[in-house]
Amino acid sequence: MSANARVVAARALSDIAVHDQSLRQVLAARLPGVEDSRDRAFVSAIVYASTRGWLRWNAALQLLLVKPLPRKLAFVQALLVSALTQLEDLNIAQHAVVAASVDACGAFGHGAQRGLVNAILRRWLRERNELLKRLDENVEARFRLPEWLLQAMRRDWSGEVDAIIAASNHEASPMLRVNIARTDRTQYLLALDAAGIRAQPHRWISSAIVLEHSLDVAQLPGWADGLCSMQDGAAQLAAALLDAPPNARVLDACAAPGGKTCHILERGPVALTALDRDPQRTERVRENLDRLRLTCELRAADALQPDAWWDGRMYDRILLDAPCSASGILRRQPDVRLHRRASDIPELVAQQKRLLRTLWPLLKPGGSLLYATCSLLREENAQQIDGFLQERTDAEPIPIKLPTGREDGAGWQILPGEDGIDGMFFARLRKQASDLVRGRRHIEHVPGTLN
Ligand SMILES: C[S@@+](CC[C@H](N)C(=O)[O-])C[C@H]1O[C@@H](n2cnc3c(N)ncnc32)[C@H](O)[C@@H]1O
């Protein structure tokens, strides 16, 4: 890999880990500046692995430094953390990592720190065994997760916590959603095979394909023509669970970047309104709709202010894919572990509650709302829905049963990595017709297959 590519990787990592920027946005901004496609793949692999390993290898770096590096040397800090990640997690040869990291330091105008970088990495290699033992005494360094999140995982999922931690620290295989409006999965698998791209159908999610390796999406057959999208299998469950009949009026209240919006439209004709309060992210929904050749009413608007966007006609189906901790998708968004704080959770829970309360009156009697999060925290999921059911006598849960996961309260929880998919929670709530509201009734309706 060129010294320039290593510089790009370290700058990206310092943007993410020191300056709190989003990994996806940083890579989207920085990767186009790297000319060679192999260098781009390498930068991306280093940035993902170093973000995943930041809490461990930055702690190792602190053991090697006499005093922490000042913020103006964030690039050097990131370069060293990425070098430790390459040595320990990516198994790259020692001489290559040390020499190239020293060169990258010089190439980015930090020539004065070349000696420091060289000395730190050589000391790590000499004292590695002893330092690894010391690292394991620090719980965040050992499990590569912030302490508050580890505590919350243990509180909510004590029996499953080891598997959750392992999955959250593991790179997830890329997954595709086949656009069934334009092709079918068998045909698309043949097209992948003809293009030399190794892939498997997901065991039970009928639209999902698991790729063996990451690749540039432009290499995927028919990408520009909208034959497929990148989307984890768990997210692909939402459209089937929403179960919108043909021509139903559907609201997707928190739609950006539009993965689930597009999937709902691919499955059949519906009158769909997609909202997101973030105008930039709403633009990404537009791009996805255009590439997939789909249409719907798209608005940059706050779902909590229906007076500003609602035409007064009730919906048959509402998808509330609520803003959440994203604690179920650390495999694909490793920066969540660095950016999410314990103090964010009460505000997210309050926002979810407000969204449920505001959107419920917009649902037709007999219609249903699908609540979804990519969280594994019960306060955002089962407890949130159970609280809502306590306050609404006209809401009743429609049980969900899927081949993966477990019932939790009135919903269904999938934990990260189960059957190769992300952690997600779903709950389906049906609104009783007003003449049927006589206390809570339990409707037995289990979706048959997820096609
Ligand atoms: C989990 S993401 C949605 C992902 C999307 N459904 C998909 O499948 O691609 C949550 C989204 O909710 C949006 N959001 C948060 N609060 C909102 C509100 N009050 N009104 C509308 N959108 C909101 C955020 O901007 C964010 O894009």
Q: Is the pLDDT of residue 446 over 90?
A: no
Q: Is the pLDDT of residue 325 over 70?
A: yes
Ligand 1 centroid from CA 319, angstroms: 11
Amino acid occupying residue 332: R
Paired tokens of 390: 């306590």
Task: Give the position, in ligand 1's atom list, of the atom nearest the Cα of 278.
Answer: 25
Helix and strand numbers (H, E) in the chain are 16, 13
Beta strand 315-321 with 249-252: parallel, antiparallel or unpaired? parallel
Q: Is the pLDDT of residue 436 over 60?
A: no
What average pLDDT does the segment 147-175 reach? 98
| Cβ atoms of residues 176 and 338 within 8 Å | no
| Ramachandran angles phi, psi of 234, nearest 5° | -65, -40
Task: Give me the pLDDT at residue 106, please.
Answer: 83
Q: Is the pLDDT of residue 437 over 60?
A: no
Task: Give me the pLDDT at residue 69, please.
Answer: 93
Ligand 1 centroid from CA 313, angstroms: 22
> pTM (2 decimals)?
0.94
pLDDT grade for 448, boundaries at 50, 70 and 90? very low
Task: Give the position, in ligand 1's atom list, of the atom nearest the Cα of 326.
Answer: 1
What average pLDDT does the segment 75-98 reach? 96
Ligand 1 centroid from CA 79, angstroms: 34
Catalytic residues: 374
Task: Give me the pLDDT at residue 4, please.
Answer: 82
The 10 Å Cβ neighbour count of residue 255 is 28
Task: Give me the pLDDT at residue 441, please.
Answer: 45
Residue nearest to atom 14 of ligand 1 (CA): 254
pLDDT in tens, 360-374: 999 999 999 999 999
Task: Give me the pLDDT at residue 450, please.
Answer: 53
| Ramachandran angles phi, psi of 210, nearest 5° | -100, 125
Residue nearest to atom 12 of ligand 1 (CA): 254
Task: Give me the pLDDT at residue 449, please.
Answer: 43
Residue nearest to atom 10 of ligand 1 (CA): 323
| Cβ atoms of residues 302 and 310 within 8 Å | no
Task: Give the position, in ligand 1's atom list, of the atom nearest the Cα of 319.
Answer: 6
Task: Give me the pLDDT at residue 443, please.
Answer: 41
Residue nearest to atom 27 of ligand 1 (CA): 256
| Cβ atoms of residues 212 and 173 within 8 Å | yes
Ligand 1 centroid from CA 112, angstroms: 45
Q: Is the pLDDT of residue 302 over 60?
A: yes
| Cβ atoms of residues 153 and 161 within 8 Å | yes
Q: Which domains does the chain have, with CATH numbers?
A: 3-144 (1.10.940.10), 175-229 (3.30.70.1170), 237-436 (3.40.50.150)
Per-residue burial over 413-441, b if 16 or more Cβ lie within 10 Å, else e, is bbbbbbebbbbbbbbbbbbbeeeebeeee
Pocket residues: Cβ below 6 A from ligand 1: 235, 254-260, 275-278, 281, 302-304, 321, 323
Instruction: Show Cβ contacts of residue 190 under 8 Å, excluding neighbours closer than 6 positions.
Output: none
pLDDT grade for 5, boundaries at 50, 70 and 90? confident
Ligand 1 centroid from CA 287, angstroms: 16
CA distance 399 to 393: 17
Q: Is the pLDDT of residue 37 over 90?
A: no
| Cβ atoms of residues 353 and 360 within 8 Å | no
What average pLDDT does the segment 309-338 reach? 98
CA distance 169 to 166: 5
Peptide bond into 257 cis (omega under 30): yes
- Residue of 236, 237, 277 best suited for mutating to test ligand 1, as the one with most atoms within 8 Å of CB: 277
Averaged confidence pLDDT in the chain: 94
In angstroms and rounded to an integer, the radius of gyration of the C-alpha atoms of the chain is 24
Residue nearest to atom 1 of ligand 1 (CA): 323
What average pLDDT does the segment 48-73 reach? 96
